[in-house]
Amino acid sequence: MARRKKGDPVSGWVCLDKPYDLTSTHAVSRVRRLFNAQKAGHAGTLDPLATGVLPIALGEATKTVPFLMDADKTYRFTIAWGRTTATFDREGETIATSDVRPTPEAVAAALPAFVGEIEQVPPAYSAVKVDGERAYDLARAGETVELKARAVTIHALRLVGASDADHVELEMDCGKGTYVRALVRDLAEALGACGHVSVLRRTRVGGFTEARAITLEKLEDFGHKAALSEALLPVETALDDIPALAVTAEDAFRLKQGRPIVLVPRQVEALKARLAPGSRTVSAMADGVVVALCEMRAGRLEPARVFHLNQSGD
């Protein structure tokens, strides 16, 4: 007899506004406890010193985490000039200082060189694995960490403002794997200055935006009012970039059994026109609820991930 899972079968996404000085793992644990959910996970780690959008998946939504991990993101951050730290943020040990204070005009002029597909070396204090170990664990142990450059994409980089000569605020739209701290390191070097990230906030992860984000305090308040469901977004929220196909109840039943369904030619052509280059993934929907994530092959939809949701999404 199978063991009964602890917690409730809650499914959906919470767009959390992560507070300062809280790890992503602890944030997930607190949200999971509030909902008493059986399963939980997050899409894209935020440093403890960063705030902002941290999408947290509950229940069946955890099956869609990989799709959100690949989503574009937006960050708003402040550079403090005059000091470079080992971690490239304000908590790190100072490793260099400088009296150079780049003007906003100089910063703006340097930004285009960092837009597009660029090579970026991740910070030594990062979650990148080196021989099975996290780079930040090796760095904290005093070991020299040498990471290889990798291609990342920065779609846009904007100068937002400068409150004084010591600080400048930027906003960045980027693809997965881009490090704000590495960008600040390289930008400061290009400007002949020392600098580090003093404030960092993520304002968007795919379709999860700052406007949709909810604080832990508000969630806890909802919990006292038994209104947590108001903060729960549908499982398919993470699938905004994946074309959806409405299927019949009969086809939905087949997909849930792990069996493929046959498409008519007009469905194939319509889906091909909406698929991203190189992608075959389609979400099958029945009565507005996601049934399965499928791969389209040879005129058929083959289920890859099946969801067990009722009409209310839980």
Same domain membership, residue 128 and residue 84: yes
Pairing state between β 40-42 and 150-164: unpaired
pLDDT tens, the chain, 314 aa long? 455 678 888 999 999 999 999 999 999 999 999 999 999 999 888 988 999 999 999 999 999 998 888 899 999 999 999 999 999 999 899 999 999 999 999 999 999 999 999 999 988 776 677 767 776 676 676 677 677 899 999 999 999 999 999 999 999 999 999 999 999 999 999 999 999 999 999 999 999 999 999 999 999 998 777 788 889 999 989 988 899 999 999 999 999 999 999 999 999 999 999 998 888 999 999 998 999 999 999 999 999 999 988 644 44
Residue 313 domain-assigned (yes or no):
no
Same domain membership, residue 80 and residue 199: yes
Same domain membership, residue 103 and residue 64: no
Same domain membership, residue 90 and residue 49: no
User: What per-residue confidence (pLDDT) applies to 4?
Assistant: 61
User: What per-residue confidence (pLDDT) applies to 1?
Assistant: 46
State which residues form the domain around 137. 73-205
Same domain membership, residue 89 and residue 163: yes
The pair of structure tokens assigned to 11 is 């499914």
Residue 90 domain-assigned (yes or no):
yes
Residue 140 domain-assigned (yes or no):
yes
User: What per-residue confidence (pLDDT) applies to 310?
Assistant: 66
Tell me the pLDDT tens digit for each residue of 234-243: 998 998 889 9
User: What per-residue confidence (pLDDT) applies to 139?
Assistant: 67
Q: Are 126 and 137 in contact (CB under 8 A)?
A: no
User: What per-residue confidence (pLDDT) applies to 138?
Assistant: 67
Residues in the chain: 314
Residue 163 domain-assigned (yes or no):
yes
Same domain membership, residue 197 and residue 146: yes
Select which of 8, 17, 21, 47 is catalytic. 47
Same domain membership, residue 213 and residue 66: yes
* Distance, CA of 117 to CA of 287 (rounded, Å): 40
Residue 21 is a catalytic residue: no
**The last residue of a domain, from among 197, 216, 237:** 237
The number of folded domains in the chain is 3
Residue 293 domain-assigned (yes or no):
yes
The pair of structure tokens assigned to 294 is 């499928």
Same domain membership, residue 199 and residue 79: yes
Burial degree of 308 (CB within 10 A; 0-12, 13-18, 19+): exposed
User: What per-residue confidence (pLDDT) applies to 141?
Assistant: 67
User: What per-residue confidence (pLDDT) applies to 162?
Assistant: 95
Residue 54 domain-assigned (yes or no):
yes
Same domain membership, residue 217 and residue 130: no
Same domain membership, residue 81 and residue 44: no
Residue 311 domain-assigned (yes or no):
no
* Distance, CA of 135 to CA of 143 (rounded, Å): 9
User: What per-residue confidence (pLDDT) applies to 314?
Assistant: 44
Same domain membership, residue 42 and residue 87: no
Domain at 229, CATH number: 3.30.2350.10
If you search the block for the tokens 């605020």, which residue do you land on? 169
Tell me the pLDDT tens digit for each residue of 209-242: 999 999 999 999 987 777 888 899 999 899 888 9
pTM across the whole model: 0.88
Q: Are 294 and 284 in contact (CB under 8 A)?
A: yes
Same domain membership, residue 80 and residue 59: no
Residue 5 domain-assigned (yes or no):
no
